[in-house]
Chain A
C-alpha cells in the first residue's frame, strides 16, 4: 500500500519538476536568469490572476471583510436591541430581511454575524498555524525523541473525531458571549487543527532536509534556527498557504456548527449558526428567517473554497 503511494507520489513529483524544467531551462543564459528572477511566488500570483474561480473567491472574501469591518456603519439597526412590537416581521423596506422572534432586524444581525464567522475562521487557523508549523519543523528536522514526542501527541489529537473534541473543549471552556466567547471558540477550533499543520510541515521537512543545499548550509556552519527559517520553511510554504485558505472555510463551518449546537459564542452576540438554530424552531410559520443566516454561511465558505482552489492550482501546477 505504501509502496503504491510512494510510486504514485514519485511519478507526479517528477512530472512536476519536468514542467518546471521546461519553464526555467531556456537555451540562452539571459532567459534563464530572467526565469530565476521571477520567484515561485511571483509565478503563483501571475497564475492566480488568470484564474477566474480564484478571482471570484477573492472578490467574495474581500466584500465580506469590508462588511465585517464596517458592520457598525452598514447595519441599519442595532443587532441586539429587541423590539417586541415588531416580532416576525416579513421582509419589507424597513426590515429588508425581516425580524426574528425578539423583533431584532435580521439584516443587521446577518451583517454583524460576519464578524464572528470571519474572526473565528481566520484567527483559529492562524493560531493553529503558528503552533503547528514550529512543531512540524522541529519534529521533521531533529527527528528522534522530539519527533516521537510531538507526533505521538499530534496522533492522539488526530485520533479524535474532530467534532467530539471540539464539543468537549467548548463544554470545558464554558461558552460565553462577546470577545471572550469568541476567543474560547477560536481556541477550541485551533487545538483541533494544530496536528494538520504539524503533519504537513513534518512531511515536507523530511524530504527538504536531505537536500544538498541544507547540507551545504550545515557545512558552512549556519545555525539550525536560521536554516529552518531561511531555507527549510520557504520551501514548504506552498502547501501551508493552500491548507490555510481551505482551512478557513472548514473552520467557519465548524464554528457555525458549534453555534448551531448552542456551544459557540453565546447570545446576544450575533452569530450565524446560532441564528439559524434559533429560527429553525419557527420554520413552519416564518420560513424565511432561517434562510438568511444559512445563505451567509454558505457564501462565506464558498468564497474561501473558491479562493483556496484557485490558490492551489496557482501554487501547485502539477495538480492541474
Chain B
C-alpha cells in the first residue's frame, strides 16, 4: 500500500511536467507580451527590450521553461511580472479561500445527493423518486453562475441584503496578511451562497449517478441474502448497498475535477472572492506568465492529488480492492 502511494506520487511528476510545459508554450504563443502592460505609458522599443532582458523573456522559450523548472525545484515559484510579488505567496494566500469553497460545496453535494439517491432508488417510480430525479435534472441543467445569480436575487436583493453579494471574510486562522478581515460568522455569510452555487450542480449529477448504481446494486443477490439473513433495512442499505454503489460515483467525481476548477473560477468571479480561481483567470487575461505557471502548477497538483484520493477511497469502499 505504502509502495503504491509512493509510486502514484512519483507519477505526479510527468503529469505536472506535461501540464506546465503545455501551458508554458501556449501562454507564450499568445500574440503580444506582458511587457506592454507592465510599461504602460513608458513603453518605448528601448525600454521594452530592456524589460524583456530583465525578466529573461528574450531567451528561447525552451530555455525559459528549463530555468523556471530549475527554480521550482529549489522552491522558487518565480515572481509576478506585473506586481513583483512572489507567486507562491499569492497562491498560499488564496488557496484557503478556494479550498474552503470546494470542500464545502462537496459537502453540500454529498449531503443532498446521498439521501436523495437512496430515496429515489428504494422507492423507484413513486412520487418521491420522480421528485428527486426531476429536481436532479433541473440541477444538472442550471449553470453555476446562473444559480449564483438566482441566490443573489433571493438573499442579497430580495431579502434586503441577508447575505453579502461580494467580497470575503477569512476563516479565522487562514488570514495571512495584516489587512484582511477574519471571523467565523462573517466567513459563513460570505461562503454560503458560493458553496451552494457550486455544490447544487454537483449534487444533481451525483444524485443521478448514485441512484442509477443503487438501483443496480439493490437487485444483486448479496443484498437479497443480507435481507434474508434478517438484517434490518438500515444496515442493508447503508453498509451493503450504498458502499458498493458509491464506487462508480466516486470515479465520476474524480473525473469532475476539471469542471470543479471551472466552477470555482466562475463562482469566485461572480461573488468577487479572492481565491485561486480569480487569481488564475486574471493572470491568464493579463498574461502574467509567472502567475499563470503557478496557477497551472496548483491545478495540476489538485488534479493528481484528487485522483489519488479517489483511488484510495476504493479500498475503503470495497476492501477486496488492494493496491500493491
CA distance A275 to B270 in the complex (A): 13
Q: Are B320 and A171 in contact (CB under 8 A)?
A: no
Q: Quick check: is B257 within 8 A (CB to CB) of the other chain?
A: yes
Which of A18-26, A203-211, A284-292 sits within the interface?
A: A284-292
Which of A68-76, A105-113, A159-167 sits within the interface?
A: A159-167
Q: Are A291 and B153 in contact (CB under 8 A)?
A: yes
CA distance A163 to B19 in the complex (A): 13
Known: A4-B318, A160-B22, A168-B27. A276 touches B146 (CB 8 A): yes
Smallest CB separation, A146 vs chain B (Å): 21
Q: Are A167 and B261 in contact (CB under 8 A)?
A: no
CA distance A211 to B234 in the complex (A): 45
Known: A167-B281, A261-B266. A294 touches B27 (CB 8 A): no
Smallest CB separation, B92 vs chain A (Å): 20
B15 partner residues in chain A, CB cutoff 8 A: 159
Q: Quick check: is B37 within 8 A (CB to CB) of the other chain?
A: no
Smallest CB separation, B195 vs chain A (Å): 18
A156 partner residues in chain B, CB cutoff 8 A: 18, 22
Candidate in A168, A249, A302 with the most chain B CB atoms within 10 angstroms? A168
A261 partner residues in chain B, CB cutoff 8 A: 265-266, 269, 281
Q: Across the interface, name the chain B residue whose C-beta is closest to A303.
A: B141
| B258 in complex: contacting residue of A162, A171, A260, CB < 8 Å | A162
B141 partner residues in chain A, CB cutoff 8 A: 249, 298, 301-302, 305
B314 partner residues in chain A, CB cutoff 8 A: 1
A4 partner residues in chain B, CB cutoff 8 A: 247, 318, 320-321
0/1 string, B109-132, CB within 8 A of A gives 1:
000000000000000000000000
Q: Quick check: is B138 within 8 A (CB to CB) of the other chain?
A: yes
CA distance A249 to B158 in the complex (A): 30
Q: Across the interface, name the chain A residue whose C-beta is closest to B318.
A: A4
Q: Quick check: is A229 within 8 A (CB to CB) of the other chain?
A: no
Smallest CB separation, A19 vs chain B (Å): 14
Q: Are A159 and B137 in contact (CB under 8 A)?
A: no
Interface residues of A in 238-252 (CB under 8 A from B): 249
Smallest CB separation, B286 vs chain A (Å): 10
A256 partner residues in chain B, CB cutoff 8 A: 143, 145
A249 partner residues in chain B, CB cutoff 8 A: 141
| B137 in complex: contacting residue of A12, A276, A305, CB < 8 Å | A305
A276 partner residues in chain B, CB cutoff 8 A: 145-146, 149
Smallest CB separation, A134 vs chain B (Å): 23
A260 partner residues in chain B, CB cutoff 8 A: 145, 266, 269
CA distance A281 to B287 in the complex (A): 25
Q: Are A291 and B26 in contact (CB under 8 A)?
A: no
Q: Quick check: is A63 within 8 A (CB to CB) of the other chain?
A: no
Q: Quick check: is A172 within 8 A (CB to CB) of the other chain?
A: yes
Known: A161-B299, A305-B137. A257 touches B153 (CB 8 A): no
Q: Quick check: is B191 within 8 A (CB to CB) of the other chain?
A: no
Q: Across the interface, name the chain A residue whose C-beta is closest to B311.
A: A1
CA distance A263 to B318 in the complex (A): 43
0/1 string, A156-186, CB within 8 A of B gives 1:
1001111110111101101000000000000
| A302 in complex: contacting residue of B137, B259, B296, B299, CB < 8 Å | B137
0/1 string, B139-176, CB within 8 A of A gives 1:
01111111001101100111000000100000000000
Smallest CB separation, A113 vs chain B (Å): 13
0/1 string, B263-284, CB within 8 A of A gives 1:
0011001100000000011001
Q: Are B152 and A283 in contact (CB under 8 A)?
A: yes
A253 partner residues in chain B, CB cutoff 8 A: 143
Known: A164-B299, A298-B143. A172 touches B29 (CB 8 A): yes
Q: Quick check: is A297 within 8 A (CB to CB) of the other chain?
A: yes
| A174 in complex: contacting residue of B31, B138, B143, B296, CB < 8 Å | B31
Smallest CB separation, B187 vs chain A (Å): 23
Smallest CB separation, A55 vs chain B (Å): 15
Q: Quick check: is A116 within 8 A (CB to CB) of the other chain?
A: no
B262 partner residues in chain A, CB cutoff 8 A: 161-164, 166, 254, 257
Q: Are A161 and B142 in contact (CB under 8 A)?
A: no
Q: Quick check: is A306 within 8 A (CB to CB) of the other chain?
A: yes
Q: Quick check: is A280 within 8 A (CB to CB) of the other chain?
A: yes
| B23 in complex: contacting residue of A168, A284, A290, A319, CB < 8 Å | A168
Q: Across the interface, name the chain A residue whose C-beta is closest to B261.
A: A161
Q: Are A172 and B145 in contact (CB under 8 A)?
A: no
Q: Are A283 and B299 in contact (CB under 8 A)?
A: no
Q: Across the interface, name the chain B residue whose C-beta is closest to A169.
A: B26
Smallest CB separation, B88 vs chain A (Å): 19
Q: Are A164 and B30 in contact (CB under 8 A)?
A: no
Q: Are B258 and A160 in contact (CB under 8 A)?
A: yes
Q: Are B303 and A159 in contact (CB under 8 A)?
A: yes
Q: Are A161 and B258 in contact (CB under 8 A)?
A: yes
A306 partner residues in chain B, CB cutoff 8 A: 137
Q: Quick check: is B179 within 8 A (CB to CB) of the other chain?
A: no
Q: Are B284 and A297 in contact (CB under 8 A)?
A: no
Q: Are B143 and A301 in contact (CB under 8 A)?
A: yes
CA distance A309 to B136 in the complex (A): 12
Q: Across the interface, name the chain A residue whose C-beta is closest to B262.
A: A163
Closest 7 CB pairs of A and B: A163-B262, A161-B258, A294-B146, A302-B141, A301-B141, A161-B261, A162-B258
22 contacts between A and B (CB under 8 A): A4-B321, A159-B18, A160-B19, A160-B258, A163-B261, A163-B265, A164-B296, A166-B262, A167-B281, A168-B284, A169-B26, A171-B287, A256-B143, A260-B269, A262-B285, A276-B145, A277-B145, A283-B156, A283-B157, A287-B158, A297-B143, A302-B137
With A161-B262, A172-B29, A302-B141 known, 19 other A-B pairs at CB within 8 A are: A4-B318, A4-B321, A12-B216, A160-B19, A160-B22, A161-B299, A162-B259, A163-B262, A164-B296, A168-B23, A169-B26, A171-B284, A260-B266, A283-B156, A283-B157, A284-B156, A294-B149, A298-B141, A309-B137
